[in-house]
């Protein structure tokens, strides 16, 4: 689990790290929309160029970003298999008896894979350069206009930040319990089905017990410090949009427009 890089924050010093989280979230959303515009390979090339230069500017190594894609590998293979079985158009490239693989299947899968890869790259660029707490601050601010529709923006942000805050703790706890049970002869990798079920049980039960314990402790600590949902409170960190933030927004907007034009042409 130590090599799990999807969604991990990397404390580096780059111009991307210093951007306002709100600008980054909006820019990400715009690029995500752009990815879904069917603008052909030229469009994807354009987005890829933008995303890669962004990663480069954020001083992230490509290795880190590629590592983040590992969990998606299974999904990509799965998509390929499904497409090969379902899509029956285009020309046949390979046929074994009554079974044939069509060019369209490969092309469609490639389209989806490229989209997925780009999406993971852009979200990784966001999470790797933005502290989880800044992210939730940004989300809170962005949700504020929806307060009119009774969206509890602060509560949602608090929920997210608590959840994010406990991820490393829970991972650490899992590893600790795994080690403790391994010391008691649990083998999480090998063994019969019954043993495996037992092994997972020996992991999950203590994890739940301690997670509930933690939740209760946190609730008590928050109450002891006078936390009340919905109360007005000031902030230690006040977000401020600067020139670079606007540049990011403009660039992502222009990219999106360019893709729409490409799609129409």
Partner 1 sequence: MPIKFEKVSHIYSDGSPFTYTALKEIDLEIIEGKMTAIIGATGSGKSTLVQHLNALLLPTSGKVEVLDRIIASDEKPTKLKSLRKNVGLVFQFPEYQLFEETIIKDVAFGPKNFEFSEEEAIAKAKKALAMVDIDPSYYDKSPLDLSGGQKRRVAIAGILAMDPKVIVLDEPTAGLDPQGAKAIMELFKKLNKEYNKTIIIVSHDMEHVFNYCDDVVVLDHGNVRCHLSVDQFFKDSNWCEQLHIIPPFIIQAKELLKNRGIEITKDIKTVDELAEEIAKKVIK
Q: Which residues bind partner 1 (CB under 8 A)?
A: 2, 10-12, 173, 176-177, 179-187, 201-202, 205-206, 209-210
Residue 209 or 221: the one with the smaller Cβ distance to partner 1 is 209
Shortest Å, Cβ 29 to partner 1: 28
For the chain, strand residue ranges (E) read 92-96, 99-102
Shortest Å, Cβ 188 to partner 1: 12
Which string of b and e fits 146-182 if b means at least 16 CB within 10 Å? eeeeeeebbeebbebbeebeeeeeeeebbeebbeebe
Shortest Å, Cβ 60 to partner 1: 11
Residue 144 or 179: the one with the smaller Cβ distance to partner 1 is 179
Residue 104 or 173: the one with the smaller Cβ distance to partner 1 is 173
DSSP per residue over 166-205, as a string?
Answer: HHHHHHHHHHHHHHHHHHTT--SSSS-HHHHHHHHHHHHH
Please give the DSSP secondary-structure letter assigned to residue 37. Answer: S
Residue 3 or 234: the one with the smaller Cβ distance to partner 1 is 3
Residue position matching structure tokens 């002891």? 224
Shortest Å, Cβ 185 to partner 1: 3
């Amino acid at each position: 689990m130590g090599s799990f890089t999807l969604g991990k924050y990397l404390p580096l010093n780059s111009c991307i790290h210093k951007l306002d989280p709100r600008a980054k979230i909006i820019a990400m959303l715009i690029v995500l929309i752009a990815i879904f515009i069917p603008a052909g390979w030229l469009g994807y090339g354009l987005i890829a160029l933008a995303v890669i230069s962004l990663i480069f500017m954020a001083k992230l190594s490509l290795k880190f970003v590629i590592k983040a894609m590992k969990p998606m590998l299974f999904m990509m293979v799965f998509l390929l298999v499904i497409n090969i079985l379902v899509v029956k158009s285009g020309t046949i490239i390979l046929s074994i008896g009554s079974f044939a693989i069509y060019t369209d299947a490969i092309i469609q899968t490639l389209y989806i894979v490229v989209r997925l890869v780009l999406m993971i790259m852009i979200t990784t660029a966001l999470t790797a350069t933005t502290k989880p707490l800044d992210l939730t601050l940004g989300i809170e601010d962005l949700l504020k206009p929806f307060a009119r529709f009774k969206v509890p923006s602060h509560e949602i942000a608090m929920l997210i930040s608590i959840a994010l805050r406990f991820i490393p703790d829970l991972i650490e706890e899992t590893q600790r319990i795994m080690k403790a049970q391994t010391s008691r002869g649990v083998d999480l990798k090998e063994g019969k089905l019954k043993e495996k079920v037992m092994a997972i049980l020996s992991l999950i039960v203590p994890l739940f017990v301690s997670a509930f314990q933690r939740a209760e402790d946190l609730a008590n600590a928050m109450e002891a410090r006078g936390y009340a949902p919905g109360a007005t409170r000031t902030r230690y960190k006040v977000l401020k949009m600067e020139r670079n933030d606007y540049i990011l927004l403009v660039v992502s907007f222009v990219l999106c427009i360019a893709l729409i034009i490409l799609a129409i042409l």
